[in-house]
A = this chain, B = another copy of it.
C-alpha cells in the first residue's frame, strides 16, 4: 500500500470514529433524526476534506485532537450539503456512495432536518474548547467555515448551479461557480489546519493557492467522471450533466482538453507547496490522486 493510500485509510478510520462519537445513537423521541444524521455522515466517502485539514495542520505541528475535530467539522458540512443537494427539489438523486440517499432511506422531512443538524453540529464542534484552548482560534475556525459554507460560498454556489440548468455558462462562469460550490470548502479544509497551527500569512497564502488549484482540478475530474465513469464504481448515476444540458468543463474543453487542464492544475498545486519541502509530499500526492481516482 502506498504512503498516500495508507494515510487516506488512517484518516478515514479516525474521522469515522470521531463522527460516530459526535453523533450518538439514541433511543429517545428524536431517534430518527440521530439515525438519519449517522446514516448521512458515517460509512463512506473519500474523506478528502478531513485529509486536507489533518495534513495542513501537521505542516504547522497543530495538535492532533483539535485537528481531527476540525476535520470532522468540515466533513459534517460536506455531508450536510450532499443530503440537501440530493433532495427532490434540488438535484433529485436517489443514489449516493452506492446507497439510497438520505431522503430515500428515511423521508424528505427527516433528510432536511438531518442536514440542518449536521450543519449546526459542525459549528458546535469548532466552538468547543476541546478543539483549541484559545477562543480566538476557535472563533476564527467558525468564521472560516461559515464563510466557506454560506451565501458567499457553498450555498451561493449551489444557487448558481441550480440556476445554470436553464442557461449555458461560459468557462469563466463555470470556474466561478466551482470556486463557490466546491472550492470554498476545499479551501477551508486547508485553512482550518493553518488556523489551528498559527500559520503565518505566507504559509497560509501558499496553502490557499494550493487549495484553489486542487479544488478546480477536483471539479474537472468530477466532470470527467460524469462522462467516463463507471456507475457501479462511482456509486451514483452518471451522464446527468449532459442529460440536463448543463455546461461543464468537459463540454467546454473536450475530454482531452479537460484532462490536460486538470493535470496542469495538479502540477501547479504541487509547486505552491515548495516552501514546505517534503513535509507536504502527501498533499502533493493527494492532488495527483484526485484527478486519477475512479470515483
Residues of A within 8 A of B (CB): 23, 29-30, 32-34, 37, 84, 87, 89-90, 107-110, 112-113, 115-117, 119-121, 123-124, 126-129, 134-140, 142-143, 145-147, 149-151, 155-160, 162-163, 173, 176-177, 180
Contacts and interface: CB of A to CB of B under 8 A. Distances in A.
Give the dominant DSSP class at A's interface: helix
Contacts of A87: 109, 112
A29 B162 CA distance: 11
Contacts of A116: 84, 115-116, 119, 155
A155 B160 CA distance: 27
A160 to B, nearest CB: 4
B29 A173 contact: yes
Contacts of A23: 151
Contacts of A146: 120-121, 123-124, 127
A21 to B, nearest CB: 14
A90 B112 contact: yes
A124 B117 CA distance: 17
A62 to B, nearest CB: 17
